[in-house]
Structure 1
């Protein structure tokens, strides 16, 4: 496995500091990721106020949503630009306040042991090519999670770029006929290592794409108890004319229902661009 290099870190920060995450969940297939992720996370929220750590919180979309539900949310994010954006939006007074917004590496969270009821890791595992570093993130989450608490862990599917290139989203670019794109896919499919070619600067920066079984094994290796892994978008994102169907209320409800119905089908997990794994901290830990 390849170590995270200074070049990788610079590319990752450049990608997120450029503001690409600000509206990502409001356009394209990001809209179904947003709807489904909130639906899944909501299953683990209580009516009482929870202490929630949103680690790798991006621009704060999940933190703001959870703060609106009156939870005590602590947002941790590596990108200074994302943190600044979240702070400026909060300073405008137009949203419910996030309790704390801090710059932090997911491998080192400045909180005491056993202090969070719920932890979101909605991105940190994407950008660590080395397995030991991903496990370190999970172990840090284990440390600050209360016994019996829940951690929700996002991962990108090993097959996400491949399916995107084969779908209608890659149609105008003829990506599968591009040798540079195919070389990128080979690295992803063979080893899970996504290395963004210079030719495609808008693609996600240096990343690791998981197989479902790999994600589970890393969670267990970190000392967490794996409960389940579910598909976020499922296979429905690949439907022709996705944008038009999403704008139609009835079609949108159908797409979301299908995603929900097949979310636990192991044979379809890899077709979903994103997966969410649910894990807990043993009360004897």
Structure 2
């Protein structure tokens, strides 16, 4: 597998294979069950604690079909989604209280100092070049009002390795090559003919995420584990999340250890929260 290849972009915004991956419609239901639901619940849990009180102006960059935007709008925030996939934008714009437009995280269609919060829950792991990720953070910083908050999601360097064991993917030699390449360079490239495997992405080592927003001019970054190790429970995770009491216990315990450095590498996703300069 040639991990050095560069992907063609569509309109300078998104790699062609990434657009093709999302046009399969996988994002619509991804956050509604299993590990996706845990990711969603934990991300909302963190956002509820770090975002300004409603009503706030929130820019949801890479907001996909608007699942997070809908929750924030229902809580009283004014939410605008920017996403490079036209089908995502149409779905997000159809949600109550949410506006949406096609755009690029590296060149936001937002006036300077116009938002209280900027979310980068989708774009960072699809920008394989560090300079592009810092540029996305810098654009978030530009769009923020003084003392505003930015939050960005990243995928763990070790997520494909662990996911491969959980789902039996390592039986495919191609997947082992993908994992090997990702462990070395951080760049993950899934084959276009295998929809089970994630598309082009950058996988952050747990030591990396905090430095990028700092370079972009943001301050006080805090990196937390989103799912922790619970995402590896498979079918048992569905049972836990379906029971209100067990779900509450899981979320409470994960909240208590979300800052534990030794657990960051076991989480599929990390969330980095940083502040605008005052």
TM-score (norm 1): 0.89
Q: Does 1:259 align with 2:233?
A: no
User: 2:111 maps to which residue?
Assistant: 112
> Hey, what's the Cα distance between the residues in 1 that align with 2:4 and 2:104?
19
Alpha-carbon contact 1:4-1:129 (below 8 Å) kept: no
> Hey, what's the Cα distance between the residues in 2 that align with 1:30 and 1:246?
11
User: 1:63 maps to which residue?
Assistant: 69
1:261 to partner: Cα distance: 1.8
Deviations along 1:251-281, whole A, 9 cap, x unmatched?
A: 2223222211210001110111111001011
Alpha-carbon contact 2:178-2:190 (below 8 Å) kept: yes
Cα distance change, pair 199–104 in 1 and its aligned pair in 2 (3 A): closer
1:197 to partner: Cα distance: 2.4
Q: How many residue pairs are counted as aligned between the two chains?
A: 271
1:4 to partner: Cα distance: 5.4
1:244 to partner: Cα distance: 2.1
- SS of 1:187's partner is helix
> Hey, what's the Cα distance between the residues in 2 that align with 1:166 and 1:70?
41
* Bigger shift: residues 73-82 or 242-251: 242-251
> Hey, what's the Cα distance between the residues in 1 that align with 2:274 and 2:249?
29
User: 2:150 maps to which residue?
Assistant: 151
> Hey, what's the Cα distance between the residues in 1 that align with 2:191 and 2:70?
34
1:160 to partner: Cα distance: 0.7
1:141 to partner: Cα distance: 0.7
* Bigger shift: residues 122-131 or 221-230: 221-230
Of 31, 44, 64, the residue aligned with 2:50 is 44
5+ residue gaps, structure 1? none
Of 244, 248, 251, the residue aligned with 1:249 is 244
Instruction: Kindly report the root-mean-square deviation, in angstroms, between the aligned alpha carbons of the 2 structures.
Output: 1.8
* Bigger shift: residues 39-48 or 131-140: 39-48
TM-score (norm 2): 0.92
Of 208, 212, 222, the residue aligned with 1:214 is 208
1:248 to partner: Cα distance: 2.5
5+ residue gaps, structure 2? none
> Hey, what's the Cα distance between the residues in 1 that align with 2:193 and 2:54?
49
Of 245, 251, 272, the residue aligned with 1:277 is 272
> Hey, what's the Cα distance between the residues in 2 that align with 1:177 and 1:2?
24
User: 1:166 maps to which residue?
Assistant: 165
Of 18, 24, 35, the residue aligned with 1:12 is 18
- SS of 1:156's partner is strand
